[in-house]
A and B are shown apart, each in its own frame.
Chain A
């Protein structure tokens, strides 16, 4: 089944404790992206990647890192999470401008 998977789906952590949210797609898409969704603010793009080893900032990249060492994986790294990064995170891959979203990761930073 063609899909985008994210792990973990739910995470509660504390300020400053480094964490990684994994994202993987099995559709051989070159484009991948990370978004966060917050009430009243909608979906905002964090980072995107056009291909392996190519990443670019979206609208809200501060406090996040990404890497794209393989085509299928695009992990999101929070080196020192803060409470304002509490949010619902979505990974997506795309082909022909059509984005396929993962199921989301609900992150709470205490």
Chain B
């Protein structure tokens, strides 16, 4: 069955540094990979989507890469700020999983230290 792995340990990072999160997947060929931010007690908020034929996507201080050979996505927050502290979820959609079905990783917490 499909498996999506994100680091279960929180990432503690100094303000101003770049935070890098990893999303690995197996038994899966998604058409899209998405990243969401979730704050405690709230619903996830969409950040970025990258397609299987795209290598990299940027949005303001965020950058996502997608390597379908390695079956891995990297999510970068540059010049991190305390307000970036949250849990970040990767989600895979479509492809071998089926159109319109979304599978989420368990999330990786980021703590930005002032």
A→B interface (CB under 8 Å)? 4, 31, 33, 35, 40-45, 48, 50, 56, 58-59, 90, 92, 97-104
B101 lies within 8 A of A90 (CB): no
A48 lies within 8 A of B41 (CB): no
- Given contacts A42-B89, A42-B106, A97-B93, whether A103 and B43 have CB atoms under 8 Å apart is yes
B52, chain A: closest CB distance, angstroms = 12
- Given contacts A43-B44, A101-B45, whether A50 and B89 have CB atoms under 8 Å apart is no
A41 lies within 8 A of B106 (CB): yes
In the complex, what residues of B have CB within 8 A of residue A97's CB?
Answer: 32, 34, 49, 93
8 Å CB interface, B93-114 against A: 93, 100-107
Q: Which residue of A lies closest to B41 (CB)?
A: A104
Partner of B104, one of A31, A42, A104: A42
B10, chain A: closest CB distance, angstroms = 15
A52, chain B: closest CB distance, angstroms = 15
- Given contacts A42-B89, A97-B34, A97-B93, whether A50 and B44 have CB atoms under 8 Å apart is no
Query: Measured between alpha carbons, how far is A33 from B93 in the docked complex, in Å?
Result: 13
Chain A to chain B contacts (Cβ below 8 Å), 16 pairs: A31-B100, A33-B102, A40-B106, A43-B44, A45-B102, A48-B101, A50-B100, A59-B101, A97-B32, A97-B93, A98-B34, A99-B44, A99-B102, A101-B44, A103-B43, A104-B42
In the complex, what residues of B have CB within 8 A of residue A103's CB?
Answer: 42-43
Query: Measured between alpha carbons, how far is A31 from B89 in the docked complex, in Å?
Result: 20
A48 lies within 8 A of B100 (CB): yes
Query: Measured between alpha carbons, how far is A104 from B44 in the docked complex, in Å?
Result: 10
- Given contacts A42-B89, A45-B101, A58-B101, whether A99 and B106 have CB atoms under 8 Å apart is no
Q: Which residue of A lies closest to B47 (CB)?
A: A98
Query: Measured between alpha carbons, how far is A56 from B102 in the docked complex, in Å?
Result: 12
In the complex, what residues of A have CB within 8 A of residue B101's CB?
Answer: 45, 48, 56, 58-59
**Closest CB pairs A-B (n = 6):** A101-B43, A42-B106, A43-B104, A98-B46, A101-B44, A90-B43
